[in-house]
With several copies, the nearest count.
Chain A
Amino acid sequence: MKKLFGKPESLTTVNHKYCPGCGHGIVHRLIAEVIDELGVREKTIGIAPVGCAVFAYDYWNFDVTEASHGRPPAVATGIKRVLPDRVVFTYQGDGDLAAIGMAETIHAANRGENITVIFINNAIYGMTTGQMAPTSLLGMKTTTTPFGREAKIAGYPIKVSELLVTLEGTTYLARGAVDSAKHVLEAKKAIKKAFEIQLSGKGYSLVEILSQCPPNWKMSVPESLEYVRKEMMTQFPLGVIKDKTGMTV
């Protein structure tokens, strides 16, 4: 018998601390599979964020460093410039990447750093238990928008991938989701493509993944999947937002 599906080598056997149904675990596995498939586990350095995925270094079976909240792009820049032939990626939440880390995100993208950014957009601050994120939808009730997010007070959900489009340094920008097996497989393709771009030295790639956070959305898992499909995907349409390499996924 052959193992068709199972834990990739680039994952450790440590159990996740994520809530039931959380998308983080799925994306961790996708990254690990891609790294295995590309055969780069032994030359990969990952950067874990401050967010629910802060313990990601325990889950990946390759070198991983922590970074302070919002600064993974700067840390990645430091690593990649020193070791240009290694594979360097950041894994960041929407608070990390688009709130406190917005300047670092834009500038690493603009410099066209030859790194890959995996961006988990769950429209909420998961780890700190449910505050508004820059990507929270209008009207969304969070612990810091108890009356729903109102644009006048708290601004609009930021479309990060679209925002980065105008920067010449960005090579590949795509958005996926992990609400269904179909989307999971598509997301994996985008992630793989992003890493391939890095391996061929073509510059900055970012894959945004819409991800469910049932407890902080105050929803059951099925409800949260519906929310991803009905609400999130309307605001954040799936697909390739930019591809300078001209290839399609």
Chain B
Amino acid sequence: MREELIIAGFGGQGIMFTGTLLSQAAMMEGKFVTYFPSYGAEVRGGTAHCSVTIADTSIGSPVITHPDSLLILNKPSLGRFGPRLKKGGLLVLNSTLIEDETSIGGGQVVRLPATDIAEKIGQITVANIVALGKYLALRKIVSQESVGQALEVLLAKKKKELIEVNKKALLAGYEYK
């Protein structure tokens, strides 16, 4: 097993957190994992993205050129990363912010209104986790439970109060049809 995922959106949409969360969960499951952020430092504006590779065997470069999957939370990122998706790959889109209807050659395109769903949950900033839930439902790279545990680890120190709403978002995404 080897999954290369790029997560992309605006800065502020929790892109890096999503990637770290997934990586933490993968590590807790004993998998090999690398996480690589795009560093916005020295560039203001534009999109943020990160690359997560999860595998059964040790991983070489953390840099992903042609991802197996894409988690795209805003429109500019679709233009930037869409064309890079591996043939037959999976594209999960936040349809609240992306009206785009074009299909990706051969691949699976899944649209979910992540921001709307997050708003309904009462915390617009968890749209990323909603999208992650959907992605995990489609690619069972790591279990929902592991992500839940990872959430507890990562938020334990400073943001304990956010654990529940994030779990809710994860579930909402996971179960979104």
Contacts and interface: CB of A to CB of B under 8 A. Distances in A.
Partners in one complex: yes
Interface of A: 16-19, 22, 52, 54, 127-129
A128 B42 contact: yes
B41 A17 contact: no
A18 B43 CA distance: 9
A128 B44 CA distance: 10
Contacts of B41: 127-129
A128 B41 CA distance: 6
B13 to A, nearest CB: 15
A66 B36 CA distance: 30
Where chain A touches its partner, the secondary structure class is loop
B46 interface: yes
A19 B44 contact: yes
Given A19-B44, A52-B44, 4 more contacts: A16-B44, A17-B45, A17-B46, A128-B42
Where chain B touches its partner, the secondary structure class is loop
A112 to B, nearest CB: 31
17 contacts: A16-B44, A16-B45, A17-B43, A17-B44, A17-B45, A17-B46, A18-B44, A18-B45, A19-B44, A19-B45, A22-B44, A52-B44, A54-B42, A127-B41, A127-B42, A128-B41, A128-B42
Contacts of A129: 41
Contacts, number: 18
Interface string B45-87: 1100000000000000000000000000000000000000000
B80 to A, nearest CB: 16
Nearest to A18: B44
A129 B41 CA distance: 6
Contacts of B44: 16-19, 22, 52
Contacts of B42: 54, 127-128
Contacts of A54: 42
A174 B153 CA distance: 51
A127 B44 CA distance: 8
Contacts of A52: 44
Interface string B15-59: 000000000000000000000000001111110000000000000
A218 to B, nearest CB: 14
Contacts of B46: 17
A16 B46 CA distance: 11
A19 B40 CA distance: 12
A74 to B, nearest CB: 22
A128 B42 CA distance: 6
A127 B46 CA distance: 14
A54 B42 CA distance: 9
Contacts of A22: 44
A17 B46 CA distance: 8
Nearest to A19: B44
A127 B43 CA distance: 7
A17 B41 CA distance: 12
Name the residue in B41, B43, B44, B45 with the highest tally of chain A Cβ atoms < 10 Å from its Cβ.
B44
Interface string B117-129: 0000000000000
State the 5 A-B residue pairs at the shortest beta-carbon distance, nearest first: A17-B44, A17-B45, A129-B41, A127-B42, A18-B44
A54 B43 CA distance: 10
Contacts of A19: 44-45
Nearest to B41: A129
Nearest to B42: A127
A246 B42 CA distance: 41
Nearest to B40: A129
A135 B79 CA distance: 41
